[in-house]
Structure 1
Amino acid sequence: MSRTLSNDTQNNFLTIQELTDKLAKVMGVESGYNPIQAGRTNLMQYLPKSQSELPPRSMKDSFLVALIPLSTDAHLQDKYTTFLGHVRVGRLLEDMDIFAVMVAQKHILNPKLPEGIPPPQTLVTALVDRIDFSDFGPKPQEDIKISGHVSWVGKSSMEVVVWLEQNKYGKWHRITRALFLIAARDPANTKAAIVNPIVPADDREKEILSGGEMRKKNRMALQKLHVTKVIPDDEEQRIIHDLYMRTKLNDVSLMKVVLPSGGVWMEECTLSNTIFSQPENRNLHNTVFGGFIMRQAAELSWVLGYKFSKYRPKVKSISDINFNKPIAVNSLIHMHAFVVFTQMQYIQITVYVETFDPYTGKSDTTNTVHFTYEVPEIVKQVYPRTYQEAMMYVDGRRHFIEIMKSEPDNNVKLSIDAEIAHKSKL
């Protein structure tokens, strides 16, 4: 199914803000911040017990288009423009997150729901599978079109594909493509809620649906093989040992390590910040907006990539963004970014997001975000010093390989062994 309309004009589109206001109205959310949110338990009676109670939906039913009107809104331009005159990726992540929820909401249809009653499902971002960026550089003075549709459905979750495009010389150019996994919860956000099944309307939708099923299986397989659950395989253990041996040089002592030429310790490639969230950063359910977390993580990782490489890095992909727990609006949020893996001109950065309780001193990891950046020159090899850092290296390497599977340039598909050998000669 095409994501664009053949003869559309910007006058046909609502802005992203207009759609956000419309969604809030549909959900029955009042404007203004109130620390105590109105209860929604009265909507429990409208929850379907099974998918058979809901009509099947096609991908065309959820297709949605909106506009980010940068060409006509000077205030918006200021919010979206970097100091280099480019478009802030973090702002786009915020828009894509809220838009994915709008698309998921459009998919849900309950004919038995009385008119004027808000839908009982609470929609939350569970995971951002992947966000890939093209080589097209968006301009902060031109409108950006955002579009998407539901591409796969489980019993209580929906995969939403989102595109960003910008018009140049009368043609829409892709900026990025993203895959969001949206979870439906009950009105109290305590357990899963049923959503409409999906039935493809044509062969193209069948193909898209098949891809969504494959991605689901791939996500499950990768989760089972995570380094916190399974010992790294033989190749990964050999690579970690090889990195360790390179720090020994010719010294037989196990107490002494030396940083190889062209290398840098992982412990020196880190950057952290603390954020105190405010009501303006909330979503419709009075918890911290997932797009806000993504924006903050993206901007922290970019600064780290800049410091590490001495070049302004270009984001190539953002993958496997996990939303493990909701974050209260009044939370202290710690973000820790690490350069966990490098190869040629690529930098793999992981950002861990934690909530911190100043009274107990305890922290709780709520999000993990993986970024792949590219710079003009070959970067230093990063070396772990502890077993914990070695597992971060393995995890980062896995994410990098997964991203590069679809890379057409064979030059970036060098084996890790070849890359380590190459850097040892620098």
Structure 2
Amino acid sequence: MLSLLLGVRKCRGFHTARKLIQLASKKYSRYYSPGNNIRKTTALCTMVEIKEEMMRSYGLQPGYIQEPKSREELLKYQPKMEELPARSMQDSFTSAIIPLSKDPVLQDKYINFRGFVRLGRLLEDMDYFAAWCCHRHLELPNLPEGVPLPYTFVTILVDRIDFTDVSASGTQDIRLSGHVSWVGTSSMEVVVWLEQKVDEKYQKITRALFLMAARNATNTGAASVNPIQPANEEEQEILAGGADRKKRRQILSAQSVFKVEPNAQEQSLIYEVYKRTSPIEHAGPLKRLLPPNCRWMKESVQTTTIASFPEHRNHHNTVFGGFLMRSALEISWAAAFLYCKDRPKLKHISDISFEKPVTVNSFIKMTAYVVYTNLNYVQIMTVADVLDPYTGKQVTANAFHYTFSAPDAVTEVLPRSYHETMWYIHGRRKFLASKVDKS
């Protein structure tokens, strides 16, 4: 199951990526400059350098402008599919460093009070790095020298993120590595992983799969991307895994509890919860009793409202997906901490979805729900709603699913309404999938 969903740990393609990391660790990486379509070797880059390079490739300048410069003139440079040469996965492979060991100011941004790295900050960097891998995948033979890249990249979803037992230090360098692992007509799957040197050897912190959409220069339509021509058998296996993962996502979406009724086993579970919370001696239309060592779901919710600002924007002037990922993770961790009454450990993040763009003047309401518990595990569902302060309307923009573990067994959470029961079943599915896929 793991190789089907991840295509990394149990497939030989991961050994190819590992070899590429070893090459990158020799302090050389490859930059791609879309303006002149050349590749040049330079010292291993930092995330700050990557962000600066991406700005240059888009033809953008630092500083906020309320009415951004139109990129409409770049639409004429949008290539057709037949104009794009095939690329291998090695072409997009790259690495970058977060230089925490040498920059105390940067440490203050990344470190928590216990001296470890804030995982939400790393998620921001991983999202940005995934877009950088997409940049490196592109090869535009007909783009004139000096013309900005006529593309934008949007995060569609993050398939899954698993965390190892490595507790990343806030004062040691962290290395990001990744490459494009599958492409469609205008979509790209990117695998990104993080490592930190422990006892002179890099240890894996996490690995994630990002599904990115290539859009045209004005972000008004899809844009074709270079197809993948595997360079070897390992890349062929990774590419086939990407196609399998796409089918798997489609099947899971079609079977969502929010689209079709729960299966027979789940319906039995729903009835069991009903019986536990509606004893015969207290039968009645409104009588629900909470069993010992349990909590109602509605009493296990944490909410915060965030005002977004231009510093949170991406290259096409909407709120950066990485900022939303960080904000959602931090309130989810707080919700888990308050529920467990002990410090939880993040174990897994599943299928983060980005449904709608968020403007930089938005109010974002983050609500974290404890939707399922099992022994010492807590499943959190966090929903990001965009609030209109003038009309009072709110629209759901994103949904996030997290699995945390606590040092000891936690209080069981139970749904009270049918709506909460669907969240309970959905959370249980997420939890079981995270456990099965690691076996």
**TM-score, with structure 1 as normaliser:** 0.93
Aligned amino acid, residue 249 of structure 1 = P
Matched, 1:279 2:310: yes
Aligned amino acid, residue 156 of structure 2 = A
After the TM superposition, which residues 300-311 of structure 1 pair with which residues of structure 2 at under 5 Å, given as runs? 300-311=331-342
Unaligned runs of 5+ in 1: 409-426
Aligned amino acid, residue 2 of structure 1 = A
Distance 2:57 2:133 in 1: 13
How far has the Cα of 1:9 moved from its partner? 4.4
Unaligned runs of 5+ in 2: 1-15, 29-42
Aligned amino acid, residue 235 of structure 2 = E
Note the alpha carbon deviations across 1:17-66, whole angstroms, 9 max, x for none.
111101110111111000111111111111123x2220001100000110
Matched, 1:236 2:266: yes
User: Residue in 2 aligned with 1:5?
Assistant: 22
User: Residue in 2 aligned with 1:26?
Assistant: 57
User: Residue in 2 aligned with 1:355?
Assistant: 386
Once superposed, what is the RMSD of the aligned Cα atoms?
1.2
Note the alpha carbon deviations across 1:347-397, whole angstroms, 9 max, x for none.
100110011001111000000010010111111211111111111111111
User: Residue in 1 aligned with 2:293?
Assistant: 262
How far has the Cα of 1:319 moved from its partner? 1.1
Kindly indicate whether the alpha-carbon contact (under 8 Å) linking 1:146 and 1:164 is maintained by their aligned counterparts in 2: yes
Distance 1:209 1:263 in 2: 46
User: Residue in 1 aligned with 2:372?
Assistant: 341
Distance 1:223 1:345 in 2: 28
After the TM superposition, which residues 345-424 of structure 1 pair with which residues of structure 2 at under 5 Å, given as runs? 345-408=376-439
User: Residue in 2 aligned with 1:138?
Assistant: 168
Distance 1:345 1:78 in 2: 32
Query: Judging changes above 3 Å, is the alpha-carbon distance between structure 1 residues 88 and 248 closer, same or farther for their aligned structure 2 residues?
Result: same
How far has the Cα of 1:208 moved from its partner? 0.9
Kindly indicate whether the alpha-carbon contact (under 8 Å) linking 1:10 and 1:67 is maintained by their aligned counterparts in 2: no
Kindly indicate whether the alpha-carbon contact (under 8 Å) linking 2:219 and 2:316 is maintained by their aligned counterparts in 1: no
Distance 1:124 1:20 in 2: 15
Kindly indicate whether the alpha-carbon contact (under 8 Å) linking 1:132 and 1:318 is maintained by their aligned counterparts in 2: yes
Note the alpha carbon deviations across 1:290-346, whole angstroms, 9 max, x for none.
100000000000000000001111100111111111110010110010000111111
User: Residue in 1 aligned with 2:186?
Assistant: 156
Distance 1:233 1:191 in 2: 38
How far has the Cα of 1:254 moved from its partner? 3.4
Matched, 1:44 2:75: yes
User: Residue in 2 aligned with 1:422?
Assistant: none
Note the alpha carbon deviations across 1:250-278, whole angstroms, 9 max, x for none.
32323211101121100011000000011
SS in structure 2 of the partner of residue 2 of structure 1: helix
Distance 1:165 1:325 in 2: 31
SS in structure 1 of the partner of residue 109 of structure 2: helix
After the TM superposition, which residues 97-136 of structure 1 pair with which residues of structure 2 at under 5 Å, given as runs? 97-136=127-166
Distance 1:407 1:112 in 2: 45
SS in structure 1 of the partner of residue 280 of structure 2: coil
Aligned-residue sequence identity (percent) comes to: 49
Distance 2:344 2:222 in 1: 39
User: Residue in 2 aligned with 1:416?
Assistant: none
Aligned amino acid, residue 156 of structure 1 = S
Aligned amino acid, residue 257 of structure 1 = R
User: Residue in 1 aligned with 2:278?
Assistant: 248
Match of 1:222 among 252, 275, 278: 252
User: Residue in 1 aligned with 2:124?
Assistant: 94
How far has the Cα of 1:7 moved from its partner? 7.6
User: Residue in 2 aligned with 1:423?
Assistant: none
Kindly indicate whether the alpha-carbon contact (under 8 Å) linking 2:24 and 2:44 is maintained by their aligned counterparts in 1: no
Distance 2:312 2:99 in 1: 21
Matched, 1:57 2:87: yes
User: Residue in 1 aligned with 2:112?
Assistant: 82
How far has the Cα of 1:10 moved from its partner? 5.3
Note the alpha carbon deviations across 1:208-260, whole angstroms, 9 max, x for none.
11111111111111111122211111111111111111001232323211101
Aligned amino acid, residue 317 of structure 2 = N
After the TM superposition, which residues 178-189 of structure 1 pair with which residues of structure 2 at under 5 Å, given as runs? 178-189=208-219
Distance 1:308 1:277 in 2: 27
Matched, 1:68 2:68: no
How far has the Cα of 1:6 moved from its partner? 4.7
User: Residue in 2 aligned with 1:169?
Assistant: 199
Note the alpha carbon deviations across 1:91-136, whole angstroms, 9 max, x for none.
0000000000000111011101111111212111111111111111
Aligned amino acid, residue 43 of structure 1 = L
Distance 2:82 2:261 in 1: 42
Aligned amino acid, residue 357 of structure 2 = P
Kindly tell me the number of residue pairs found equivalent between the two proteins: 407
Kindly indicate whether the alpha-carbon contact (under 8 Å) linking 1:128 and 1:179 is maintained by their aligned counterparts in 2: yes
Distance 2:395 2:22 in 1: 44
Query: Judging changes above 3 Å, is the alpha-carbon distance between structure 1 residues 388 and 61 closer, same or farther for their aligned structure 2 residues?
Result: same
Distance 1:290 1:145 in 2: 21
SS in structure 2 of the partner of residue 164 of structure 1: strand
Distance 1:406 1:255 in 2: 40
Runs of 4+ deviating beyond 4 Å = none
SS in structure 2 of the partner of residue 172 of structure 1: strand
Kindly indicate whether the alpha-carbon contact (under 8 Å) linking 1:345 and 1:379 is maintained by their aligned counterparts in 2: yes
Aligned amino acid, residue 65 of structure 1 = S
